[in-house]
Amino acid sequence: MAAINYLEEDGATLQEVAERYGYTAGWLSRWLDRLERLADEPFEEVVYDEHRSGRPSKLSDKEHEQFVEALHKSPEEVGLDAPAWSVPLLVTISPRNSTLSTVSVTFDD
């Protein structure tokens, strides 16, 4: 939306439009470049980033699956006193966190 807004708004700067949407001018510039590529490249290649390997997960496949299952429940359902998930709450149920015994989520190694 920011890229479309920039293209349609006469006189607006990249910085102004990007800030309106909570992004940087560099981010908006990269999306404008992507939109230009749509004329010659398939949609999927333009809008989706290529897979980046990154650091290997510290969780086993089973731990990851159990973590995701826990996230599909409310914090109250896994024994936490909170109305919604937040990053600090996610840390408390992480399989690699030493405080797991305080909540009802368990992860098998």
The predicted model scores a pTM of 0.43
Instruction: Tell me how far CA of residue 41 lies from CA of 32, 34, 35, 37, 47, in angstroms.
Output: 14, 10, 10, 6, 10
- How is 43-98 classified by DSSP, letter by letter? HHHHHSPPP---SPPSS-HHHHHHHHHHHTS-TGGGT---SS--HHHHHHH-TT-T
Q: What is the distance between the alpha carbons of residues 28 and 1, in angstroms, rounded to a whole number? A: 10
Residue 98 has a pLDDT of: 39
* pLDDT digits 0-9 by tens, 52-107: 788 888 888 888 888 888 888 888 888 888 888 888 888 777 776 634 434 445 55
Element spanning 18, H or E = helix 14-20
